[in-house]
Amino acid sequence: MMLTSQYYTKVNEILTLILETEETAIREAAQAVADQVTEDKVFYVYGPGGHSNLAAQEIFFRAGGLMHASAILDEGTLLSSGALRSMAIERTPGYGRIVMENERLQTGDLLIIVNAYGINAATIDAALYAREKGIKTIGVSSIDHEKGTPATHPARHPSERNLHELVDYHVDSKVQVGDAVIGIAGQDQKVGAMSTFANAFILNAMMIEATGILSSKGIQPPIWKSGNAEGGDEWNAQFIERFKKEIHHL
């Protein structure tokens, strides 16, 4: 299990690095989330591109998650619609803008944009659209990956901008260029991707800290309970009708 042990070590290293260096950024992002929930407003999570979609699903309709979270799950970049198709669409300029327009976000809304690499066209279009419309934004991406990707890379938005430059708050996921972290003798490419761990940790940290902020104000936000736990269905049923009209995928 030597290789698995190496991977375990790498996962812990990146999570520790995030914990040690991104505490302030996570806290600021959590405050933005808490502010929305204080006003009883939903906040949106968009992970444009392949496995980045998992980030939007990570805190949506999730046991222990804030019910105010609304995932933007556009079929275009979901791997279930075709992996190569997903990659082509996330690289298509203008596509992210179409998704945003379809969601009908308004000035003052909060949008969390999560993308491991922070450069693709759909990601940057979403961030630019939010800026134009006065939508507050939190970005989660790897600054090293953004800076390490050539301006000429085919995935890049025509503006050649990086996500961290365009959002109001940003948390650096610390993902290395290429994502995978384990080299194996005799293999040309590394294995063991890291971005899903990093993104999930950051997003759950935001939700935990936001809940702590709300609690300090005497606010008890609605939080999902596992439907597989005793009393889960009954607990959740108290709130579902309240959010059905606002959360598209509920």
φ, ψ dihedrals at 48, nearest 5°: -70, 105
Residues 118-165 have pLDDT tens digits of 999 999 999 999 999 999 999 999 999 999 889 899 989 999 899 999
Q: Residue 198 pLDDT more than 90? A: yes
Residue 76: band (very low, low, confident or very high) from pLDDT cuts 50, 70, 90: confident
Cα 184 to Cα 5, 12, 198, distances in angstroms: 13, 19, 22
Round the CA-based radius of gyration of the chain to a whole number and report it. Answer: 18
Q: Are strands 136-141 and 110-114 parallel, antiparallel or unpaired?
A: parallel
pTM of the model: 0.95
Residues 171-193 have pLDDT tens digits of 999 999 999 999 999 999 999 99
Cα 214 to Cα 40, 57, 159, 170, 246, distances in angstroms: 12, 23, 38, 21, 21
Determine the pLDDT at residue 79: 86
Share of the chain above pLDDT 90, in %: 85
Share of the chain above pLDDT 70, in %: 100
User: Is the CB of residue 100 less than 8 Å from the CB of residue 76?
Assistant: no
User: Is the CB of residue 112 less than 8 Å from the CB of residue 45?
Assistant: yes
Residue 39: band (very low, low, confident or very high) from pLDDT cuts 50, 70, 90: very high
Determine the pLDDT at residue 58: 93
CA 225, 231, 235 angle in degrees (round to 5)? 55
Determine the pLDDT at residue 21: 98
Separation of alpha carbons 173 and 14, rounded Å: 8
User: What tokens does 250 get?
Assistant: 């509920």
User: Is the CB of residue 134 less than 8 Å from the CB of residue 107?
Assistant: yes
Cα 97 to Cα 45, 123, 131, 241, distances in angstroms: 15, 9, 12, 30
